[in-house]
């Protein structure tokens, strides 16, 4: 059995390497170019830190970066979950009462288009300075609108043939919701999550620039830059990138599980 299986498996591995190989080569080449530019042109650390120095700082401050990531990531996660739940709930209400949708959707799209995380300054005034709530509320708001707009579209934009077919079966509105609208909206939800997951991380640490607790990735980046510790600031930036990537990866994996066997 294993002899039969090993051939296609190794073939698949070769295929995988071919897929991601060029990206890895490019990344390594880019870092090498960066490193040699810093050394070759003798660039000062306050102008541009070398990747080797950033790496050194990253491993030296590993536990602090991890703690700061946990704070920013925690805020992002809370906001992501709450925003998604509220967004999905509201999209059901909007799809049930269309006139509400016509009122709310343009507003939601407009709010989505402006950088609403500046609201965090106002939220900071409303809560105590040691509270994580303003940041979480901010992430919730950002995620909420992304999820609301997409899921509402998925619930309402169903194929007319499907609706006619269900009516020909004398299906109730609830049955149409359960068997047509909800399954139709699932890919829209995951499209929204793929956008909302990285956005939640960005919002979580950009919110930290507006004051409040100094314990997250964003505030660590500013404080390190303020102390001219550029390489350390870059190490925190690296942490922020990894955190964003982690959120994005999880949203893709979730989508894969939810849509197993389906097209595209």
Partner 1 sequence: MSALEVVGTSKIFNQGTAKQVDALVDVNLTVNPGEFVSLIGPSGCGKSTLLRLIANLLEPTSGSVSVNKKTAAQARLDQDYGMAFQQAGLFDWRTVSKNIELPLELKGWDKAKREARAKEMLELVKLPEFADLYPWQLSGGMQQRIAIARALAAHPPLLLMDEPFGALDEMTREYMQGELLRICGETSTTVVFVTHSIPEAVYLSNRVVVMSPRPGRITSVIDVDLGSKRNEDTRAADGFFRSITAVREALRGTHAEHAAANAIRGVEDR
Residue 176 and residue 259: Cα distance in Å, rounded? 20
Least CB distance to partner 1 at residue 191 (A): 15
* 180 vs 201, beta carbon nearer partner 1: 180
Shortest Cβ 161–partner 1 spacing (Å)? 4
- 64: Cα separation from own chain's centroid: 22
Q: 261 — phi, psi (to 5°)?
A: 85, -15
**Binding track over 233-252 against partner 1, x by CB under 8 A:** --------------------
Q: What is the Cα–Cα distance from 14 to 211, expressed in whole angstroms? A: 50
Site for partner 1 in 29-88 (CB under 8 A): none
Closer CB to partner 1, 182 or 250, in the complex: 182
Nearer to partner 1, 96 or 167 (CB): 167
Residue placing its CB nearer to partner 1 in the complex, 52 or 184: 184
Instruction: Pick between residue 42 and residue 262 the one whose CB is nearest to partner 1.
Output: 262
User: Least distance to partner 1 from the beta carbon of 169, Å?
Assistant: 5
Site string for partner 1, 154-193 (x = CB under 8 A): -----x-xx-xxxxxxxx---x---xx--x--x-------
Size of the site for partner 1 (CB under 8 A): 20
Give the tokens for residue 158: 């169903």
Phi, psi (rounded to 5 degrees) for 78: -60, -50
Site residues (CB under 8 A) for partner 1?
159, 161-162, 164-171, 175, 179-180, 183, 186, 259, 261-263
């Amino acid at each position: 059995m294993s002899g039969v299986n090993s051939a296609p498996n190794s073939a698949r591995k070769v295929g995988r390497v071919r897929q991601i190989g060029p990206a890895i080569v490019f990344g390594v080449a880019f870092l090498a170019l960066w490193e040699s530019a810093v050394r070759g042109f003798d660039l000062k650390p306050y102008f541009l830190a070398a990747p080797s120095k950033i790496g050194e700082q990253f491993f030296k401050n590993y536990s602090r970066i991890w703690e700061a990531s946990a704070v920013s990531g925690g805020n992002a996660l809370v906001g992501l979950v709450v925003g998604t739940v509220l967004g999905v709930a509201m999209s059901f209400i909007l799809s049930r009462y269309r006139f509400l949708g016509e009122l709310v959707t343009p507003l939601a799209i407009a709010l989505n288009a402006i950088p609403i995380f500046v609201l965090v300054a106002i939220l900071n005034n409303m809560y105590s300075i040691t509270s994580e709530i303003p940041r979480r509320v901010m992430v919730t708001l950002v995620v909420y609108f992304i999820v609301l707009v997409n899921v509402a579209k998925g619930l309402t934009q169903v194929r007319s043939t499907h609706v006619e077919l269900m009516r020909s079966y004398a299906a109730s509105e609830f049955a149409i919701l359960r068997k047509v609208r909800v399954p139709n909206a699932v890919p829209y939800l995951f499209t929204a999550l793929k956008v909302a997951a990285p956005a939640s991380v960005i919002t979580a640490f950009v919110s930290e620039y507006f004051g409040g607790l100094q314990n997250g990735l964003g505030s660590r980046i500013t404080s390190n830059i303020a102390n001219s510790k550029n390489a350390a600031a870059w190490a925190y930036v690296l942490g922020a990138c990894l955190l964003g990537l982690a959120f994005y990866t999880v949203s893709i994996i979730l989508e894969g599980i939810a849509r197993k066997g389906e097209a595209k």
